[in-house]
């Protein structure tokens, strides 16, 4: 129940309506002399509502909402009227009430939770965030301010924070630059950026979320604003960090740490986690613009199987369509697509096809006719249809911000699903338009009833397209999980789709850029991400392609993709020597699938990022905040891709602990750098001590072989470590009814001694009966092994490696 506005006695301030000098980083385009710049004045009154407080300077209002104990939302209404509370990024179901209170002192109001204190300074409306012992984690440099927009109505809104001298910044989504954003200025406006360069900005995605770290503590800021937004990370002024937009509300979430992992998990708690993909979606995928006609598709598939190179999916780009009309087939190239897809499926291949948003203007085209008749296409400000040229020629574009349009769009996939298509790839959805880049600003959008121009809807257009795709496929596939991939995205897209980094280039620089982009996307909420392995455009040689393939094994989404005017990019395209190495690493991907699948489960259930930069692993070590080449895949595997031609060795930093080199099990002490040899058929891959790494036999596609047993590689430790191994049906939603198996292993060891315990959660029972456990790094050969008190014999495999067999539901194993 709301209380009445309560007046507050405060000293007058000269900053109640400042003009001229401002304490923020100005966008030169917006810094117009006739626009009055206004700051919040002193706090004069406040009222309470069920989730927080609204403070006022007599005209403007600021709402402070307690989302959780660790998350506070701040909203500004320059003239006292808030917009309707709606967000595509944050579903209402993700917001929960918590206990909080308000304390007033002579100088401040303090909104307190069990974890965070949000202070509002009475005199000048400065806002800061502290932990419960009074340490200031984030604070305003100046009060929030705004400028009226004379052309569109609304406001340009600004917020400027203090940046301490040691502060570094991470996140920001799809940015082709260094991991640490300090000294950078970025903007968010989803853009089709073919063959982009290092530091080119903006790119395809808008993720207005960053993580700040200073004095060893981390926090997050999520600026939930879909307009064109900007961030300045101490670029113009070394002691200031600013974010602003060209419209909409100044609405941001402060997310408390103190660890980077905490911040990312809490960001996921409000924006959602990735859906759990079908197992085949995390296998190896092969794509090209374009595989056609049907004979070429069949030949590529045949080559994979004849060469015994694992592959789960083959993609069809726009040339499979009839004149680039979405949801159609070119019957000249694909006379019987259903049979082709069925034949591919019988050999273990899933078929994934491209769908773009541009619908060809053609009265004889059924999709266009339905869209016209139901008024589903976007219109200009003067009520004419928005038209632009893309691949089919003259096109109109659905308004995916309208629920009816999304439902219609989702239903259009029915024919392709009935043909057997297993996955869908949404491209060109920034939205891209030839000749003009994107839609004009005056295009109107329904926006769930919160109507607005394209300035407001542009950055969520691709997100809502793939949402329509995902929701439609869930209905069509019924209990099977969809697989979708999108090029354009906004925060929260992870609930609907995987992503890739767009049209990159076959250069060593772009291989490095890709490692940075995927780490950044992962800590920005979009963990299911990948690059076009080998580069989309340009010509890689065998070494570059192979080194990229090695990195691809440890990319959450693993796909080769290339343009049609470049040389072939299949794993065998560069000669036999390179083919052998590529096969070896693709096989490694398939061996590690149960581990990778478990990491995806941890992302889905717990909000943990899949790729974790060194800064996230050891944020208390300042030097590690600048390291970029090493990262963890989950919490057990650390990799350092080879990023230079002819490189025979590299310096690799290993975090604290003890690590085993994957390819020969050599042990390395952590918390230091090591010189690691990098022969062409290896890449620095290390396993953390105490890990339990499940491993499948090599398969040509997921599910090819029935498991007789599950291999577990247990790495010796002189401490105590936890591991989780997850399994379910692999392609259904039964896990939502607890039909899954989450196995928690605890490895407790000392010199020559190891105890392994297991706890199992969930109702899923795997079809194999036994584990084959291989011990790695034991200082001496064990003299005895027991399972739940019963002695077990050691055995040797064909490679003379020792292992022992235990029942899959064991409770305790003792090795000594």
Q: What is the pLDDT of residues 582-598, one digit of tens each?
A: 999 999 999 999 999 99
* Residue 359 within any structural domain of the chain: no
Give the largest CA-CA distance in the chain.
85
Helix/strand/coil for 547: helix
Banded pLDDT at 35 (limits 50, 70, 90): low
Segment 556-571 mean pLDDT: 96
Q: Is the pLDDT of residue 25 over 50?
A: no
Q: Does one domain contain both 722 and 630? A: no
Segment 443-456 mean pLDDT: 98
| Domain boundary residue, one of 271, 304, 324 | 271
What confidence score (pLDDT) does residue 799 get?
Answer: 87
Helix/strand/coil for 335: coil
Banded pLDDT at 365 (limits 50, 70, 90): very high
What confidence score (pLDDT) does residue 302 get?
Answer: 98
Query: How many domains in the chain?
Result: 3
| Domain boundary residue, one of 271, 303, 325 | 271
E strand map for 497-619: 498-500, 529-530, 532-533, 558-560, 611-613
Please report, for the domain that includes residue 204, its CATH number.
2.60.40.1760
Q: Is the pLDDT of residue 219 over 70?
A: yes
* Residue 287 within any structural domain of the chain: no
CA distance 552 to 586: 9
Burial classification of residue 598, based on how many CB atoms lie within 10 Å of its CB (0-12 exposed, 13-18 middle, 19 or more buried): buried
Q: Does one domain contain both 778 and 666? A: no
pTM (predicted TM-score): 0.95
Segment 505-518 mean pLDDT: 98
* Residue 718 within any structural domain of the chain: yes
Q: Is the pLDDT of residue 8 over 50?
A: no
Please report, for the domain that includes residue 619, its CATH number.
2.60.40.1180
* Residue 322 within any structural domain of the chain: no
Q: Does one domain contain both 640 and 766? A: no
Banded pLDDT at 37 (limits 50, 70, 90): confident
Q: Does one domain contain both 680 and 798? A: no
Segment 311-316 mean pLDDT: 98
What confidence score (pLDDT) does residue 20 get?
Answer: 30
* Residue 768 within any structural domain of the chain: yes
Q: Does one domain contain both 64 and 154? A: yes
Q: Does one domain contain both 215 and 161? A: yes
Q: Does one domain contain both 62 and 141? A: yes
Q: Which helix (H) or strand (E) holds 303?
A: helix 294-306
Q: Is the pLDDT of residue 3 over 60?
A: no
Q: What are phi and psi of 513, to 5 degrees?
A: -55, -40
Side by side, the strands of the sheet bearing 795-796 are 692-695, 709-715, 770-776, 802-807, 795-796
Closest among 646, 643, 683 to 663, alpha carbons compared = 683
* Residue 793 within any structural domain of the chain: yes
Q: Does one domain contain both 668 and 764? A: no
Q: Return the active site residues.
A: 427, 430, 503
Q: Is the pLDDT of residue 97 over 80?
A: no
Q: Does one domain contain both 734 and 795? A: yes
Q: Does one domain contain both 657 and 756? A: no
* Residue 413 within any structural domain of the chain: no
Q: Does one domain contain both 636 and 734? A: no
What's the mean per-residue pLDDT of the chain? 94
- What is the domain extent for residue 138? 6-12+24-271
């Amino acid at each position: 129940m709301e209380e009445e506005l309560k007046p507050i006695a405060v000293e007058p301030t000269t900053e109640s309506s400042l003009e001229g000098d401002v304490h923020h980083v100005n966008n030169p385009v917006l810094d117009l002399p006739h626009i009055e710049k206004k700051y919040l004045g002193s706090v004069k009154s406040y009222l309470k509502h069920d989730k927080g407080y609204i403070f006022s300077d007599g005209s403007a209002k600021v709402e402070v909402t307690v989302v959780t104990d660790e998350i506070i939302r701040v909203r500004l209404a320059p003239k006292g009227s808030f917009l309707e509370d709606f967000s595509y990024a944050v579903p209402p179901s993700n917001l929960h009430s918590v206990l909080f209170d308000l304390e007033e002192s002579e100088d401040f109001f303090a909104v307190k939770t069990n974890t965070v204190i949000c202070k509002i300074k009475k005199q000048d409306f400065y806002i800061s965030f502290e932990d419960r012992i009074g340490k200031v984690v984030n604070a305003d440099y100046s009060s929030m301010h705004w400028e009226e927009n004379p052309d569109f109505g609304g406001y340009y809104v600004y917020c400027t924070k203090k940046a301490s001298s040691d502060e570094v910044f991470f996140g920001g989504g799809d940015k082709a630059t260094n991991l640490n954003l300090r000294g950078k200025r970025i903007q968010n406006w989803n853009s089709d950026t073919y063959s982009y360069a290092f530091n080119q900005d903006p790119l395809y995605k808008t993720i207005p979320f960053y993580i700040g770290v200073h004095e060893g503590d981390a926090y997050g800021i999520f600026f939930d604003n879909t307009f064109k937004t900007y961030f300045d990370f101490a670029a113009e002024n070394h002691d200031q960090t600013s974010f602003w937009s060209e419209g909409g509300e100044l609405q941001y979430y402060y997310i408390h740490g103190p660890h980077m992992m905490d911040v990312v998990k809490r960001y996921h708690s409000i924006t959602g986690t990735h859906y759990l993909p079908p197992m085949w979606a995390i296998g190896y995928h092969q794509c090209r613009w374009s595989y056609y006609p049907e004979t070429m598709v069949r030949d590529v598939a045949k080559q994979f199987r004849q060469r015994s190179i694992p592959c789960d999916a083959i993609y069809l780009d726009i040339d499979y369509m009839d004149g680039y009309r979405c949801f159609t087939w070119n019957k000249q190239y694909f006379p019987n697509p259903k049979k082709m897809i069925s034949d591919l499926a019988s050999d273990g291949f899933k078929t994934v096809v491209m769908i773009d948003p541009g619908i060809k203007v053609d009265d004889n085209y059924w999709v266009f006719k339905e869209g016209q008749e139901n008024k589903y296409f976007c219109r200009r400000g003067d009520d004419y249809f928005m038209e632009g040229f893309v691949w089919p020629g003259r096109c109109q574009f659905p308004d995916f911000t309208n629920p009816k349009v999304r439902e219609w769009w989702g239903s259009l996939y029915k024919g392709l699903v009935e043909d057997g298509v297993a996955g869908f790839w949404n491209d060109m959805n920034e939205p891209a338009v030839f000749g003009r880049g994107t839609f004009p600003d005056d295009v109107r959008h329904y926006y769930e009833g919160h109507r607005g121009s394209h300035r407001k809807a542009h950055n969520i257009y691709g997100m809502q397209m793939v949402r329509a795709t995902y929701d439609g496929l869930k209905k069509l596939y019924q209990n099977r999980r969809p697989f979708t991939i999108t090029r354009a995205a906004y925060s929260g897209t992870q609930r609907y789709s995987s992503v890739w980094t767009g049209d990159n280039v076959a250069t060593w620089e772009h291989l490095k850029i890709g490692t940075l982009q995927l780490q950044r996307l992962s800590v920005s909420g979009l963990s299911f991400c990948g690059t076009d392995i080998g580069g989309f455009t340009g010509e890689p040689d065998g070494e570059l392609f192979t080194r990229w393939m090695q990195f691809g094994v440890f990319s959450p989404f693993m796909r080769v993709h290339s343009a049609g005017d470049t040389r072939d990019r299949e794993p065998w395209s560069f000669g036999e020597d390179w083919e052998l190495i590529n096969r070896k690493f693709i096989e490694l991907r398939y061996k590690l699938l149960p581990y990778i699948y478990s990491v995806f489960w941890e992302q889905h259930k717990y909000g943990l990022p899949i790729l974790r930069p060194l800064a996230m692993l050891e944020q208390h070590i300042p030097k590690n905040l600048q390291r970029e080449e090493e990262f963890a895949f989950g919490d057990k595997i650390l990799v350092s891709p080879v990023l230079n031609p002819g490189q025979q060795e590299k310096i690799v930093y290993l975090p604290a602990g003890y690590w085993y080199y994957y390819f020969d099990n050599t042990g390395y002490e952590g918390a230091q750098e090591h010189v690691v040899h990098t022969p062409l058929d290896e890449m620095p891959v290390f396993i953390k001590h105490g890990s339990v790494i499940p491993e499948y036999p090599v398969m040509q596609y997921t599910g090819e072989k029935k498991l007789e047993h599950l291999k577990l590689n247990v790495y010796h430790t002189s401490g105590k470590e936890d591991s989780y191994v997850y399994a379910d049906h692999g392609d259904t939603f039964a896990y939502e009814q607890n039909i899954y198996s989450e196995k928690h292993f605890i490895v407790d060891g000392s010199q020559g001694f190891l105890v392994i315990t297991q706890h199992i959660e969930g109702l899923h029972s795997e079809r194999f009966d036994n584990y084959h456990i291989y011990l790695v790094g034991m200082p001496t050969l064990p003299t005895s092994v027991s399972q739940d008190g019963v002695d077990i014999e050691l055995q040797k495999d064909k490679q003379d490696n020792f292992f022992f067999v235990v029942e899959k539901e064991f409770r305790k194993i003792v090795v000594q």
